[in-house]
Structure 1
Amino acid sequence: MPDGPDIRVAGVDGCKAGWVAVLRNLNRPQDLRLEIFPAFAALVKSTAAVIAVDMPIGLPDRILAGGRGPEKAARRHLGMRQSSVFTVPSRAAVYEDDYLAACETALKTSEPPKKVSKQCFHLFPKIREIDALMTPELEARVFEVHPELAFWRLNGEKEMSLPKKIKSRANAEGLDQRRDLLVSLGLPKNFLDQAPPRGCGRDDLLDAAANSVIAERIHLGRAEPFPKDFRRDGRGLRMAIWA
């Protein structure tokens, strides 16, 4: 018999196909889906009570040493995995669609002056996609998360000992370690081991699954923001990573 009304949460990660979401019904554990959304707006229109997405939300006008507060706060806990947390530049830099222009704008809007990494630049279209939709009111449902901080939280507040990637290539042992942790928390192994849909990597699937567990923690009031004394950007958007 059902244990209560449907309560759906979504763990989301950006991927080549758009956005991969692990959708879970907290009152019906067997109601578990993997879905690709071409646009983030479709996720916002879904019935998910909480959407935990691995993408920066809240963009300062100027960036100080170490990046936004959420990035500095997350790195303090991640030890060997802290390089997975990119420094996001100012909003003006994020809205540049040319790499050299983005670097030039980032240099002008950071102290000390800092260019943009190529990895972060490739995230700009997705950052802009969320930024165009976000409002302070939507923060009741949409939360910024980071998979490695999620795994840190779920691993007894210890960073994962194996990297997810080595020289930009998937590391099977590191991915298996993360899958096994998620299985220990109740997610089905066959679900986590399924062949990812086109445009989605195995790492994207596992990251979305970890984010879905953080979405559950957020819904239950068990997650906390990093940093706790988070600030808001010029549009009033919260700048915090949740775990």
Structure 2
Amino acid sequence: MPDGAGIWVAGVDGCKAGWIAVLRNLDDPADLRLELFPTFADGIAWVPHLDVIAVDMPIGLPDTIGPQGRGPEKAARKHLGMRQSSVFTVPSRAAVYEEDYRRACATAERTSQPPKKVSKQCFYLFPKIREIDALMTPVLEARVYEVHPELAFWRLNGEAEMSLPKKVKSRANPDGLDQRRDLLVSKGLPRAFLDQKPPRGCGRDDLLDAAANSLIAERIFLGEAKPFPEAYRRDERGLRMAIWA
């Protein structure tokens, strides 16, 4: 098989250095790569062509947020038990485009019913959310899908949330990371690949999350993944609002 030929899928996670991606050739399981993309556009343009990109970042931002929220967050949390706090509530598109936290909270309150502010954790994701939002189109969503690592691990773990947290008091929890690594190994990913030192500006958790997302990307390609919620809505730009697993 020529170098790079085959069906390629990617699991992607945002990190301080950009976007860490685990790239898998479904036609040649030994062809497994770790890439660090400075921008999300670099991942979309990667050669060979990526058939599915499963990224841990909200896609689809409504102009207003109702009592049920954007939709995917509530649908995902129902399955995550103790891990549900890892799913942040995403505000309106106007709030996401605010670069000051207080203005973001004010805009989020003005565009939600009941009024709701923005968590600091979600606010720190806004630059990454904006980066994807600027690129996304209904056509591109045939390749790019929103995922969430903890929902991915839930799916891979027989639809049971992971018993150990990934972080404790905002610091990496080695036992929780080892548990996730071992689950990924049981699904066929090489331990040595998962235990490699992440690129500078990426954490071990980022690498493991991208790896889990890559397995969901394969499920999406094979038609085995499901959207949460199943009856998902689209935002005012026609973008799908669903987390896949």
TM over 0.5, shorter chain: yes
User: 2:75 is matched with which residue: 67, 73, 76?
Assistant: 73
Q: Describe the superposition over 1:123-173 as per-residue Cα deviations: whole angstroms up to 9, x where unpaired.
A: 000000000000000011000000000000000000000000011000000
Q: Distance in 2 between matches of 1:206 and 1:64?
A: 33
Task: Report the CA distance between 1:211 and its aligned residue.
Answer: 0.1
Secondary structure of 2:82's match?
helix
Are 2:140 and 1:145 aligned? Answer: no
**Does structure 2 conserve the Cα–Cα contact (< 8 Å) formed by 1:95 and 1:124?**
yes
TM-score normalized by structure 1? 0.97
More displaced 10-residue stretch of structure 1: 39-48 or 63-72: 63-72
What is the distance in 2 between the residues matched to 1:33 and 1:226?
A: 28
Structure 1, unaligned runs of 5 or more = none
* RMSD of aligned residue pairs (Cα, Å): 1.0
Identical aligned pairs, as a percentage? 80
Change (3 A) 1:66 1:165: farther
Give the counterpart letter for 1:48 in structure 2: L
C-alpha displacement of 1:67? 2.5
* Structure 1 Cα separation of the partners of residues 130 and 69 of structure 2: 18
When the two structures are superposed, what TM-score results if normalisation uses the length of structure 2? Answer: 0.97
- Give yes or no for contact 1:65–1:111 (8 Å, CA) kept in 2: yes
Aligned mates of 2:58, 2:31 — CA distance in 1: 29
Instruction: Quote the residue 1:92 is aligned against.
Output: 94
Query: What's the offset of the Cα at 1:66?
Result: 5.0
How far apart are 1:62 and its partner, in Å? Answer: 1.1
d(CA) in 2 for partners of 1:166, 1:103: 26
**Match for 1:75: what amino acid?**
R
1:39 aligned partner: 39
Query: What is the number of residues matched between the two proteins?
Result: 241
SS in 1 for 2:80: helix
Alignment of 1:100-139 (within 5 A): 100-139=102-141
Question: AA paired with 2:25?
Answer: N
**Is 1:166–2:163 an aligned residue pair?**
no
Task: Check whether the contact 1:66–1:87 (CA below 8 A) recurs between aligned residues.
Answer: no
Aligned residue number for residue 231 of structure 2: 229
2:190 to 170, 188, 191: 188
Report how far residue 45 of structure 1 moved.
Answer: 1.1
Matches of 1:65 and 1:230, distance apart in 2: 15
> What's the counterpart of residue 178 of structure 2?
176
After superposition, the C-alpha distances for 1:95-133 in whole angstroms (9 at most, x for unaligned) are 000111000100101111111111100100000000000
Q: Gapped runs of 5+ residues in structure 2?
A: none
Q: Secondary structure at the match of 1:64?
A: coil
- Paired amino acid for 1:8: W
Aligned residue identity for 1:7: I
Shift of 1:221: 0.4
